[in-house]
Amino acid sequence: MSDLDDSFSGTKDVASSLSFDEAALAAWMNETVAGFDGPMTVSQFKGGQSNPTYKLDTPDRSYVLRRKPPGKLLPSAHAVDREYKVMKSLGGAGFPSPIMYGLCMDRDIIGTEFYVMEFVEGRIFWDGLLPGMEPEERGQIFDASNATLAHLHSIDIEAAGLGDYGKPGNYFQRQIGRWTKQYRAAETTTVSSMDKLIDWLPDAAPEQERTSVVHGDYRLDNMIFHPTEPRVIAVLDWELSTLGDPLADFTYQLMGWVMPPEVRGGFLGVDIASMGIPSIEEYTAAYCQRTNRDGIPALDFYLAFNTFRLASIVQGVYSRALQGNASNTKGIEMGAVVEPLSQAAWGFAKKAGA
């Protein structure tokens, strides 16, 4: 097990700042979740920066609870009702999603809104370099990830009941506006490269050609793989999902290839070919073939946008950690990452003509 696996996988005792009335939850489960039978014990997953996530164990089965964090929150963030809706709808459309058992918008039960879903037994890969695997296995894992994202982007949003899940056009303008607003709300110091990106990005966005559900944070550690097969059996963490440009979603995952190892375990400078991990060109070609595209011409813009967006997200995590309500103690370390990320984003922007 790598250091990353050790620090993010598994559960721990519930942090005192994130504890709640377990008896009230058990009463709600009794009323709402078919087949629920206590007693129930509650622990907290180590991973997850944003919406605190808990494991609920009973003698018969385990469940997962995700809730809004307590405390002062950024506007529009942590919409657990949207997460619940998108997973339930996509599961109905044949996409790998956990079974959704219930959504509670009544804050009186545990203090914030929450939902309960199936606990899916499988493998989560926190380290994208997949230590301990054979090259062939690594290639199969990445191919399954690629195929699952192409599947998501091909789902008919109207037939899945998700036609109203977001606004259909101008995805980049709306996203740039949203993340600028979120960044400004969480800003703790002036970062000149962020200011330059905020000025440049809105006019640089390419035309949006397709609309699909976009996951918003699609990467290996947000998937559960079958215990023994190279197959995705559940995609998690839909907090940032909406309707939008599928290329934004795909190129967000590509950031793993252009970031150094110290930023989210990036591949830059690593001999991935010898490890069986596809090159950025191979991974892109496979996605384009699966989604009937000729290629991705505006790649540098997409990488600039996604790196800017990640810097905004990280700034929000850091700001919450300063207030004491980020769900992972590593949040406080995030402050140091915002400036290098924004400088990397500005580097891509310059390649795109800024």
CATH value at residue 84 = 3.30.200.20
pLDDT at site 54: 95
Would you say residue 75 has pLDDT above 60?
no
Mean pLDDT of 113-124: 95
Question: Does the residue 259 lie in any domain?
Answer: yes
Type of residue found at 156 = D
Mean pLDDT of 274-300: 96
Question: Does the residue 210 lie in any domain?
Answer: yes
Three-state SS string across the chain, please?
CCHHHHHHCCEECCCHHHCCCHHHHHHHHHHHCCCCCCCCEEEEECCCCCCCEEEEECCCCEEEEEECCCCCCCCCCCCHHHHHHHHHHHHHCCCCCCCEEEEECCCCCCCCCEEEEECCCCECCCCCCCCCCCHHHHHHHHHHHHHHHHHHHHCCCCCCCCCCCCCCCCHHHHHHHHHHHHHHHHCCCCCHHHHHHHHHHHHHCCCCCCCEEECCCCCHHHEEECCCCCCEEEECCCCCCEEECHHHHHHHHHHHHHCCCCCCCCCCCCCCHHHCCCCHHHHHHHHHHHCCCCCCCCHHHHHHHHHHHHHHHHHHHHHHHHHCCCCCHHHHHHHHHHHHHHHHHHHHHHHCCC
Domain co-membership, 288 together with 332 = yes
Domain co-membership, 224 together with 347 = yes
pLDDT at site 33: 96
pLDDT at site 1: 35
Express each pLDDT in 151-163 by its tens digit.
999 999 999 999 9
Question: Does the residue 128 lie in any domain?
Answer: no
Domain co-membership, 207 together with 111 = no
- Domain holding 248, by residue range, is 135-351
Backbone angle region of 130, left / alpha / beta, with phi > 0 → left and psi within -120 to 50 → alpha: left
Per-residue pLDDT band at 5 (split at 50, 70, 90)? very low
Would you say residue 100 has pLDDT above 70?
yes
How many folded domains does the chain comprise?
2
Q: Considering 89, 118, 147, which residue would you say is the last residue of a domain? A: 118
Domain co-membership, 34 together with 153 = no
The whole model's pTM is what? 0.86
Per-residue pLDDT band at 309 (split at 50, 70, 90)? very high
**Mean pLDDT score of the chain, rounded to an integer?**
90
Q: Considering 65, 84, 118, which residue would you say is the last residue of a domain? A: 118
Would you say residue 328 has pLDDT above 50?
yes
Domain co-membership, 289 together with 329 = yes
Per-residue pLDDT band at 132 (split at 50, 70, 90)? very high
Domain co-membership, 37 together with 69 = yes
pLDDT at site 104: 96
Domain co-membership, 159 together with 253 = yes
Domain co-membership, 102 together with 37 = yes
Question: Does the residue 129 lie in any domain?
Answer: no
Domain co-membership, 94 together with 161 = no
Per-residue pLDDT band at 4 (split at 50, 70, 90)? very low
Radius of gyration for the alpha carbons in the chain, expressed in angstroms and rounded = 20
Domain co-membership, 260 together with 173 = yes
Domain co-membership, 271 together with 176 = yes
Question: Does the residue 215 lie in any domain?
Answer: yes
Question: Does the residue 126 lie in any domain?
Answer: no
pLDDT at site 273: 97
Least confident stretch, 67-71, 77-81, 89-93, 121-125: 77-81
Question: Does the residue 125 lie in any domain?
Answer: no
Domain co-membership, 105 together with 213 = no
Per-residue pLDDT band at 72 (split at 50, 70, 90)? low
Question: Does the residue 124 lie in any domain?
Answer: no
CATH classification of the domain holding 317: 3.90.1200.10
